[in-house]
A and B are shown apart, each in its own frame.
Chain A
Amino acid sequence: MVRLLQIEFIKLWNNRASKILITSYFVLLTSIALIAAIKFNIGPVKFHLADQGIFNFPYIWHFNTFITAIFKLFLAIVIVSMMANEYSNKTIKQNLIDGLSKKEFILSKFLTVISFALTSTIFVFVVSMILGLVYSDYDELSIIFSDLEFLAAFFVKLVGFFSFCLFLGIFVKRSAFALGFLILWAILEQVMFGLLGWKVMSWESAGRIKDFFPLESMTNLIKEPFTRLSAVQNIGEQIGENMNFDYHVYWYEFLIVIFWTVLFVYLSYALLRKRDL
């Protein structure tokens, strides 16, 4: 396993574009701390974002995992191209000839995906912990370590998303087209949802089916955290809008994403096995 990771590491780290993207990704993850510095001073109105409770435990776990997940696109580019480049450089052929089995090849890519996701999760955990300890109004241990399922959700979400990228890289073989396909797929899910709700069934059941789509199920794992903020809640109450959304992470949501992950990795392997190079 270590050998497979080392192989992938040599390939990635010697590539300048990948190196820059990976570095910027982790810099961006850290830079979420900069949100704390957002302050507005408009005359009598003083607004300091850090004081709005976004860094309160345990809310911070939810908020930070949601925000940082946006940056995953950086790694998506790296993963798609690390796969597609193997095809365009024909190095996949040479790797197999040199004695890497097809299973090992896929495994080395998947292990890389896992390590990306794991490192990201640890990063977010550490950054959030520090931010929380500095700004949170609550600092009892039991509160700090509650709602940690958001971190697990973050990890599973990244693994799922990156596995999808991996599959697209193998399937399309060209990084630019694979990324295009990814965007197309995201739009397609919405279109399918729209069509289902409009023509086939009620919007409610269409919404339930939508939760099973790959990208949608990943989004669903961590729901938007903004309406949970007390400031936003207050505004909601004033205008009489009911804002009691359900923010929790459910086991079946994990299951759906894990199902897609397994499917994408298996499909990548099946595709590689079936194809002549």
Chain B
Amino acid sequence: MDTILTVTDLTKKFGPLTAVKDLSFTIEKGNVYGILGPNGSGKSTTLGIILNVVNRTAGNFSWFDGSISTHEALKKVGAIIERPNFYPYMTAVQNLKLVCKIKEVPETKIQEKLELVGLWDRRNSKFKTYSLGMKQRLAIASALLNDPEILILDEPTNGLDPQGIHQIREIIKKIAGQGTTILLASHLLDEVEKVCSHVVILRKGMKLYSGPVDSMLASHGFFELRSENMEELKGLLEKNASFGKIESFNGTLTAYLKEEMDAESLNKMLYEKGIVLSHLVKRKESLEEQFLTLTKNN
């Protein structure tokens, strides 16, 4: 598989504060990556470093096979970080023409990309007349002008209204569907969960985890159970070695698995023991729950 980005032992200090510490990860072609972390965990700083706008204190990063300079590599990358930054007095088309000049790509894609983000009708309006959602969509169009190898998005839905968030997500899904590698930094977990296959989790500038979303926690999931006879159910589960922690909340038992078990065999086993369930759901921890477990002060 082709490597798009390799980061090794990256460190950034702002005076006494260490924003990123010994961070290493690689981005492979074709995957959708999420960088997760609470506010101030070093996500934007990391992206700033690999995008040539923040100077690193130590460590290394290399784009593609490392044979070209960072600014040449960035011409094959599409990125938007934080707020969309364009010349306010220029129209969408004028701004995009400028980006084409910088990236050294022909201006032929402007229409296609503006149509993709639904701004073609407003192409001749000045950037300053746009709403935040439109600005963000223009930023995405601009990042896609060169049909990038990788699209980097930093908090793309920040500050948008629900409709705007929905539009951006739809666009991201569409792009991911076309096979473009995406690196998405966000603190909104459901956002990452919906589109990402891999995650890098940061806390206070340190990497807690990087790898596929599925194997984030060595967890076999849990059952949510309800029955007429809750006491007996609880007693039975506690005696079973397959289960770890068992919690009772609002008339529902939550039983965490220590080893793999499917819902069918649990149901069968309980029925044989004379317990009839009125509610049986097998679930995996959501990304949010896994994330909170990981970032808890460990």
Contact = CB atoms under 8 A, between A and B. Distances in A.
Interface of A: 3, 6-7, 10-11, 14-16, 89-91, 93-102, 104, 273-274, 276-277
24 contacts: A3-B101, A3-B104, A7-B98, A10-B98, A89-B85, A89-B86, A96-B53, A96-B74, A97-B52, A97-B79, A97-B80, A98-B103, A99-B72, A99-B73, A99-B74, A99-B75, A99-B104, A100-B71, A100-B102, A102-B52, A274-B55, A276-B14, A276-B53, A276-B54
Contacts, number: 82
B90 interface: yes
Interface centre among A7, A14, A104 (most CB of B within 10 A): A14
B83 interface: yes
B86 A10 contact: no
Which of the four size classes fits the interface of chain B? 20 to 34
A16 B55 CA distance: 35
Given A96-B52, A97-B81, 18 more contacts: A3-B101, A7-B102, A10-B97, A11-B98, A15-B89, A15-B90, A16-B89, A90-B85, A91-B86, A93-B81, A94-B86, A97-B53, A99-B102, A101-B69, A101-B70, A274-B55, A276-B54, A277-B53
A97 B87 contact: no
B208 interface: no
B118 interface: no
B125 interface: no
A99 B98 CA distance: 12
A102 B98 CA distance: 17
Contacts of B103: 98-99
A95 B87 contact: no
Interface of B: 14, 48, 51-55, 69-75, 77, 79-81, 83, 85-90, 94, 97-99, 101-104, 142
A90 B83 contact: yes
Given A97-B74, A99-B102, A100-B71, A14 B51 contact: no
B71 A93 contact: no
Contacts of A89: 85-88
Interface centre among A95, A274, A276, A277 (most CB of B within 10 A): A276
Contacts of B88: 89
Contacts of A273: 55
Given A98-B74, A99-B71, A274-B55, A6 B101 contact: yes
A77 to B, nearest CB: 16
Contacts of B104: 3, 99
A86 B73 CA distance: 22
A97 B77 CA distance: 9
A104 B75 CA distance: 14
Interface centre among A15, A89, A98, A102 (most CB of B within 10 A): A98
Contacts of B14: 276
Contact of A14 (B73, B94, B142): B94
Contacts of A96: 51-53, 71, 74
B52 A276 contact: no
Contacts of A10: 90, 94, 97-98, 101
A7 B95 CA distance: 11
Interface centre among A16, A97, A101 (most CB of B within 10 A): A97
A134 to B, nearest CB: 41
Contacts of B90: 10, 14-15
A184 B103 CA distance: 39
A6 B98 CA distance: 9
A93 B55 contact: no
Contact of B54 (A14, A95, A102, A277): A277
Given A11-B87, A14-B90, A90-B83, A95 B102 contact: yes
Contacts of B75: 98-99
Given A14-B90, A90-B83, A276-B55, A98 B97 contact: no
B118 to A, nearest CB: 21
Contact of B102 (A16, A98, A102, A277): A98
A85 to B, nearest CB: 8
A6 B107 CA distance: 14
B143 to A, nearest CB: 9
Nearest to B126: A14
Contacts of A101: 52, 69-71
A91 B127 CA distance: 13
A7 B101 contact: yes
Nearest to A85: B87
A14 B87 contact: yes
Contacts of A97: 51-53, 74, 79-81
B107 to A, nearest CB: 11
Contacts of A100: 71, 102
A274 B244 CA distance: 54
A107 to B, nearest CB: 12
A102 B71 CA distance: 9
